Amino acid sequence: MAIIPLPNSRTEADGSAVVRILSYNVRSMRDDEDALARVIRACAPDLVFVQEAPRFFRWRKHAARLAAKSELVVLGGGATAAGPLLMCSLRATVERTEDVLLPLTPGLHRRGFATAVVRFAGARVGLISCHLSLRSEERYAQAGMLLDRAADLDAPHAIVAGDLNERPDGRSFTRLTKELQDGWAVSPWGGEYTSTPADPHQRIDAILATRGVEFLGCGVPQDLDPADLRAATDHLPVLAAVRIPAS
């Protein structure tokens, strides 16, 4: 059965906005950068929540190059957020950005959040790109910090997306979905599993939102070039279309 395409971006008569959102772990752009950019362009996103953006030598230049190839601009994050990055189209009006570093557990990778508040026409929304810990106890604590940060964005709506490093039945994932909508659970579209491109068997990446945001569809796009998906990185992208009410 053919999958109905996600709605295109648009502004509605009442000032609300339909926005296309992409979440994607890019593995520090260590794979085929051109394939990665082709995947992102094919999804036609307004917002991209990136995980594992380049963090070391000339990382800003690498991030800017990916944004340019994807026909987007860098919004915030990167090494200053320990890996999460935000990109956007010129449709977004940016109010502010902030990169947040989380407490460091000795011996583990530093984690952080890339955050922003943006407007699309009359719709105002807070954004957080995240990549949670591989260790269960630290991941659970970070899920709580993520909820706190989403509540503190001082925006009427919030969208959180990223690599949660946990399946939906895990306690950190469940902690998040007690307060936030899980796009795939609310409005499934396309494929479910995000890891790995060669053998999709688990969903560890998600797009979440506060209750006022309406999901019009969310999942792994099924009409992208399989060769590009395998070459781009070790995760599959999650794409959603949402309607954000006017403020």
At residue 158, φ and ψ (nearest 5 deg) are -145, 145
Residue 12 has pLDDT above 60, yes or no: yes
Residues 6+ apart with CB under 8 A from 155: 117, 124, 125, 126
Q: Are strands 10-11 and 158-163 parallel, antiparallel or unpaired?
A: unpaired
pTM higher than 0.95: yes
Average pLDDT, the chain: 97
Residue 85 near residue 72, CB atoms below 8 Å: no
Residue 49 has pLDDT above 70, yes or no: yes
Instruction: Label residue 247 by pLDDT band (50, 70, 90).
Output: confident
Instruction: Label residue 219 by pLDDT band (50, 70, 90).
Output: very high
Tokens of 246: 């006017």
Q: Is 152 exposed, middle or buried (0-12, 13-18, 19+ CB in 10 A)?
A: exposed
Q: Per-residue pLDDT averaged across 63-85, rounded?
A: 98
Residue 201 has pLDDT above 60, yes or no: yes
Residue 1 has pLDDT above 60, yes or no: no
Between 105 and 118, where is the model more confident?
A: 118
Per-residue b or e along 9-20, where b marks 16 or more CB atoms closer than 10 Å to that residue's CB? bebeeeebbbbb
pLDDT of residue 4: 85
pLDDT of residue 87: 98
Q: Per-residue pLDDT averaged across 95-117, rounded?
A: 96
Percent of the chain with pLDDT over 70: 99
Q: Per-residue pLDDT averaged across 181-200, rounded?
A: 98
Q: Per-residue pLDDT averaged across 195-209, rounded?
A: 98
pLDDT of residue 3: 74
pLDDT of residue 70: 98
Residue 92: what residue type?
A: A
pLDDT of residue 2: 59
Residue 111 near residue 131, CB atoms below 8 Å: yes
Instruction: Label residue 190 by pLDDT band (50, 70, 90).
Output: very high
